[in-house]
């Protein structure tokens, strides 16, 4: 959830919380989610040494000691906001990493993670003393404090970009950074409330989603709760009290469930560990805000986790529980057969327990539980170059690789960060390709996202989609279980409108990259055509690319280069008529005047030839959908290039009357692009199967339906609005003749324009 949506969740939320809370003091076995600040610690390496000695050999332990000596020396005399020696922070960060059993290089980098940033220790020095890997990790974790940026947000964005790219090369960078952020959140009470909120917002927007994306759920939940406590301290306190009261009220029900499950599972021959758990305060808060419920209305705040030894026992335990209590329909999820995008596996089911209270059960193996809590960090010790990557590591690798793909197409750090934020969705839908492969996409994803996930070329040339064997709009929202197929065309191009409907960072990045590069190249090429034609009308040859006139023209018109001038002409930002006159011998650079424009437009003889596949530089107006064979006119629209309309289009006629200087004659080329779109309004008898017969007829006529709408009507006739792909006006006539053969069809009208 975006942070801004939380802020306005409910003005009376605290009152709602109080209304649903009764303070109780009875104890239970379930742990209290109260988040205490970290206690002051003495700067000692002994606790860390004790932890790492259990899984590292003595040589590596000694290497970690050497790194500690340098860190201690570098931070000597430096103190944290709490008054503690600064060295306590890198030690605490390293202890968190040791809890994940990271390797010696990771622990050394954790101890040294601030020495480049704060103490002027160079990357080269670290490489010479501790090795290249340690130096690279420390450099990846370090921020960019020394570089000059115009704004704080720009500096922050560039720091994130550097960190995420370093992470894409070595995941240990982000693991150390997450440990660093966790300790900072645990000691957040030492800074001002304003700074607490700023750090908490940043953590909630970036670091918590990354932890979730990497499957480190224990860290993810703690970061969320600590952010909640820092941003909304009063709401946190009230909700915490309400949870304590509810725990006491429901203790009897939870005890009965525990006793019943502990008896039922062994009777079925299943040896299992059973533990009770509470939802995090932040997740309860989000549910209350999203569903506009009071705390007393949120019933499923408790759950049980059942951990068994083998995968078959997961399903056997599920069947045993369903015999014990009635399951809630629609609340069963099998994340074992289809794991979450971050590798999480478990069976989820919600049952109606004693007193009608819904209780969620999670069933998993010990290995699944380890992965569920620690994610990609859980398998670090098992990493072996001689062993193939497990599924979790493969998923992580694919995501990290996608960061590099996005970076290669994004020059601006803020834009890169926006793409990554879009990609950090906690929820996902799972759809199928025609070959049966399961693709994971963020909730709200569309066929456009699906197409770019398969391959950028498929996304760039997508024209339509079939979901579960039925044609749908490219903007339709996909649901789990959908079978998705993308229809492509060589003539198709991405549209800027797609940016309003995509949910993945990759799709957004690919579309923007295409629009920036291809549109620019197409605009340059089309601008050259327009300028060449304008020059020929003046009896002047097109100057060579190295002609010094270009440089003078660019300098006096505020352009950076010859290409920029041509692109501006192609996009309609400059008129070819005016630019052409500046190439007349012994003629000073003229300003854009209505007289010059009128003089040029009145003398134009040769129209611009339209192929239909020029791309973004030449667009066929959607209001009338001109086709080869139609009489057409062209209007130069500022920033969009040439827009081609049918000559009889009412929209074009009105615009031409307002700005005649921007309209030029155009004609179709003898060979035009295939698969152009046009619209038809069809009136037919409202009988079962008529749409299917029409679709089959259109396909047989070598056409394709891009979009269809049919208003809900109960009468004898139905009105269908179709958007079809055809090659020309003649092809359209053939399609219409075929459609008239369907007995139910009464009337077919081509939509040639609009009065809007």
Structure tokens at 85: 């020696």
Cβ(627)–Cβ(597) under 8 Å? no
Tell me the angle at which helices 233-249 and 281-291 cross, rounded to the nearest 10 degrees.
100
For the chain, count helices (H), then strands (E).
31, 20
Q: How far apart are CA 439 and CA 395, in angstroms?
A: 11
Give how far the C-alpha of residue 750 lies from the chain's centroid of Cα atoms, to the nearest Å: 39
Give how far the C-alpha of residue 671 lies from the chain's centroid of Cα atoms, to the nearest Å: 40
Collapsed DSSP state (helix, strand, coil) of residue 34: coil
Cβ(627)–Cβ(648) under 8 Å? no
Alpha helix (H) ranges present in 293-381? 311-324, 366-374
DSSP state of 279: -
The residue from 72, 117, 125, 418 that is catalytic is: 117
Task: Give the end-to-end CA distance of the chain in Å, rounded to a whole number.
Answer: 38
Which residue in the block uniquely carries the two structure tokens 């006529």? 701
Structure tokens at 567: 């692109």
Q: How far apart are CA 746 and CA 333, in angstroms?
A: 49
Structure tokens at 393: 């590591």
Structure tokens at 623: 């209001």
Q: How far apart are CA 94 and CA 86, in angstroms?
A: 13
The residue from 72, 103, 118, 334 that is catalytic is: 118
What radius of gyration do the chain's Cα atoms show? 33
**3-class DSSP string for 104-170:** HHHHHHHHCCCHHHHHCCCHHHHHHHHCHHHHHHHHHHCCCCCCCCCCHHHHHHHHHHHHHHHHHHC
Cβ(119)–Cβ(75) under 8 Å? yes
Where would I find the beta strands (DSSP E) of 192-311?
273-278, 302-308
Q: Is 117 a catalytic residue?
A: yes
Q: Is 202 a catalytic residue?
A: no
Cβ(454)–Cβ(484) under 8 Å? no
Alpha helix (H) ranges present in 610-716? 650-658, 690-700
Structure tokens at 350: 């919600």
- Residues noted as catalytic: 117-118
């Amino acid at each position: 959830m975006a942070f801004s949506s939380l802020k306005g969740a409910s003005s009376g939320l605290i009152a709602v919380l109080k209304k649903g809370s009764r303070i109780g003091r009875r104890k239970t076995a379930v742990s209290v989610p109260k988040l205490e600040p970290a206690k002051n610690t003495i700067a000692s390496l002994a606790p860390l040494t004790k932890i790492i000695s259990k899984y590292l050999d003595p040589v590596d332990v000694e290497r970690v000691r050497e790194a500690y000596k340098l860190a201690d020396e570098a931070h000597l005399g430096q103190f944290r906001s709490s008054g503690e020696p600064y060295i306590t922070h890198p030690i605490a960060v390293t202890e968190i990493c040791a809890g994940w059993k990271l390797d010696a290089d990771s622990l050394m980098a954790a101890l040294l993670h601030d020495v480049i940033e704060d103490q002027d220790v160079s990357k080269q020095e670290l490489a010479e003393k501790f090795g290249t890997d340690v130096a690279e990790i420390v450099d990846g974790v370090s921020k960019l404090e020394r570089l000059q940026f115009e704004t704080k947000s720009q500096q922050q964005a560039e720091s994130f970009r550097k960190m995420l790219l370093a992470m894409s090369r070595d995941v240990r960078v982000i693991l150390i950074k997450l440990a660093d952020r966790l300790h900072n959140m645990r000691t957040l009470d030492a800074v001002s409330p304003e700074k607490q909120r700023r750090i908490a917002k940043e953590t909630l927007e970036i670091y918590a989603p990354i932890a979730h994306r990497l499957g480190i759920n224990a860290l993810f939940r703690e970061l969320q709760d600590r952010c909640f406590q820092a941003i909304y301290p009063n709401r946190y306190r009230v909700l915490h009290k309400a949870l304590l009261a509810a725990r006491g009220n429901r203790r009897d029900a939870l005890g009965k469930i525990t006793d019943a499950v502990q008896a039922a599972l062994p009777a079925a021959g299943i040896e299992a560990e059973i533990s009770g758990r509470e939802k995090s305060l932040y997740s309860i808060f989000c549910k209350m805000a999203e569903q506009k419920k009071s705390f007393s209305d949120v019933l499923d705040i408790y759950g049980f986790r059942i951990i068994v030894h083998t995968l078959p026992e997961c399903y056997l335990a599920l069947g045993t529980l369903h015999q014990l209590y009635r399951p809630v329909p629609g609340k069963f999820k099998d994340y074992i057969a289809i794991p979450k995008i971050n590798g999480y596996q478990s069976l989820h089911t919600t049952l109606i327990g004693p007193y009608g209270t819904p209780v969620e059960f999670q069933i998993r193996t010990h290995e699944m539980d380890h992965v569920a809590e620690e994610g990609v960090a859980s398998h670090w010790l098992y990493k072996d170059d001689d062993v193939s990557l497990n599924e979790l590591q493969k998923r992580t690798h694919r995501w990290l690789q996608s960061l590099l793909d996005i970076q290669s197409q994004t020059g601006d750090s803020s834009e890169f960060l926006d793409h990554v934020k879009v990609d950090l969705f906690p929820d996902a839908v799972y759809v199928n390709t025609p070959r049966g492969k399961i693709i994971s996409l963020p909730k709200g994803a569309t066929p456009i996202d699906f197409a770019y996930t398969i391959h950028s070329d498929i996304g760039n040339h997508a024209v339509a989609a079939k979901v579960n064997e039925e044609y749908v709009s490219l903007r339709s929202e996909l649901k789990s279980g959908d079978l998705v197929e993308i229809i492509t065309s060589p003539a198709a191009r991405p549209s800027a409108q797609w940016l309003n409907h995509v949910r993945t960072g990759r799709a957004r990045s690919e579309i923007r990259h295409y629009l920036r590069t291809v549109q620019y190249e197409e605009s340059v090429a089309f601008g050259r055509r327009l300028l060449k034609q304008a020059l020929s009308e003046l009896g002047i040859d097109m100057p060579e690319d190295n002609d010094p006139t270009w440089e003078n023209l660019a300098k006096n018109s505020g352009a950076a280069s010859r290409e920029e001038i041509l692109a501006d002409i192609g996009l309609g930002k400059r008129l070819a008529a005016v630019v052409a006159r500046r190439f007349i011998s012994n003629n000073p650079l003229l300003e854009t005047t209505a007289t010059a424009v009128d003089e040029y437009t009145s003398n134009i003889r040769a129209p611009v030839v339209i192929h239909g596949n020029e791309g973004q530089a030449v667009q066929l107006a959607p209001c009338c959908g001109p086709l080869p064979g139609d009489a057409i006119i062209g209007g130069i629209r500022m920033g969009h290039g040439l827009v081609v309309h049918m000559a009889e289009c009412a929209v074009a006629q009105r615009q031409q009357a307002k700005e005649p200087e921007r309209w030029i004659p155009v004609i179709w080329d003898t060979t035009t692009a295939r698969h152009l779109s046009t619209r038809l309004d069809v009136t037919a008898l409202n009988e079962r199967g008529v749409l299917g017969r029409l679709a089959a007829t259109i396909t047989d006529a070598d056409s394709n339906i891009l979009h269809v709408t049919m208003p809900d009507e109960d009468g004898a006739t139905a009105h269908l609005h179709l958007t079809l792909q055809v090659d020309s006006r003649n092809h359209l006539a053939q399609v219409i003749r075929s459609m008239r053969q369907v007995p139910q069809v009464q009337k077919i009208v081509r939509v040639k324009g609009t009065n809007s």
